[in-house]
Amino acid sequence: MPHQNNIYLDNNATTRIDDRVLDVMLPYLSDSYANASSSHLAGLTIQEAVENARWETANLIGAKEEEIIFTSGATESINLVIKGLANESHKHIITVTTEHKAVLETCRYMEETGFNLTYLPVAADGILDPEILAEAITDNTLLVIIMNVNNETGVIQDLQAISKIVQAKNALLLCDSTQAVGKIPINVKDLGVDFLPLSAHKFHGPKGVGALYLSAKAKIKITPQIHGGGQQRKLRSGTLNVPGIIGLGKSCEIAGREMEANTEKISALRNQLEEGLLKIEGSFVNGSLLNRIYNTTNICFPGVNSERLIMALQNISVSNGSSCSSVISEPSHVLKALGLSDENALSSIRFSLSKFTTVEEIEETISRIHSLIKELKS
């Protein structure tokens, strides 16, 4: 059972569903249960609600409704793009060492099928130098994959500069915007991206639903990975997850309307948390202090094992960003790519806030961490 005073600061992993989102979903789990692909009146009514959610999703990212495909989330969307391009004649893919595992593991699979992969490094602040991309890209490059906001550090890449380089070589650009959509303004046309995946549960929507933006030129190159009834213009067959899609649409509508207010509130809380924790001797922030999203801070506490600290925090939920098993804890590949030692990577904690975070929760977190680090170091 959750602690009575649970403090949740792991919102880059998932977020609490907004009550207003849940409210609009409930009818589609009870009375309004018809299949959106059915031709009867009940089905057509559901289809109209689905298309409204598609419009809300497209509107949030500056896309057209016909450019949106609903999926189970960003991981499926990423797989659909990368594997869906397997039949193209060009066999070179470029990505970055700090990408999410959904990208990196899919790219490793593509290497096994005969594709050539280039993994670009980032600087110590987590930023990719566009000149490094310009040197790596060739006329044989099919796809460049670079995320918008990093899930562990919150670092934001310069996608407009990146997209110009990609477009000059007539390659395609996949931008994992899972941590960006719903939090910061996104316009796919301004960014110059061809593919943009997103997940509802990262901005107070339900789990198990997301979407993929496909530009008009990119759509014709994609081979479907799920075959069946030919739903969603044959790009992603299967009965639509109507309650999830309705929830996604409502999350997009709320995010677009409240983004400015959320940004002001959450950034102030993040800065308060960071200021308090950086008073701990030797602590420092991982990644850029200038080019990052407002809800995230990743802090290293040298000499403190992050797993022990997380367990000691009990009712305060944070993340160390590492890949754990019952036997061994591995340092984060993202932090290693920034140049951190194994020891410092394993001493780092990610704090990610949401619109539900309060001043009182931040104050308690600062106090508890100060006390626990003194205990752990002693």
Secondary-structure breakdown of the chain: helix, strand, coil percentages, each rounded to the nearest 5: 40, 15, 45
- Residue pair 287/308 in contact (Cβ under 8 Å)? The answer is no
* Intra-chain end-to-end CA distance of the chain, in Å: 31
Tokens of 162: 């990146």
Tell me the C-alpha distance between 5 and 169, whole Å: 53
Q: Say if residues 102 and 176 touch (Cβ distance below 8 Å).
A: yes
Phi-psi category of residue 195: left, alpha or beta, with phi > 0 → left and psi -120 to 50 → alpha: beta
Q: Which of 164, 154, 112 lies closest to 133 in space, CA to CA? A: 164
Per-residue b or e along 90-107, where b marks 16 or more CB atoms closer than 10 Å to that residue's CB:
bbbbbbbebbbebbbebb
Q: Rounded to whole angstroms, how far apart are CA atoms 147 and 145?
A: 7
CA 344, chain centre distance (Å): 24
Query: Which of 107, 175, 300, 324 is the catalytic position?
Result: 324
Known catalytic residue at 300:
no
* Residues classed as catalytic: 324
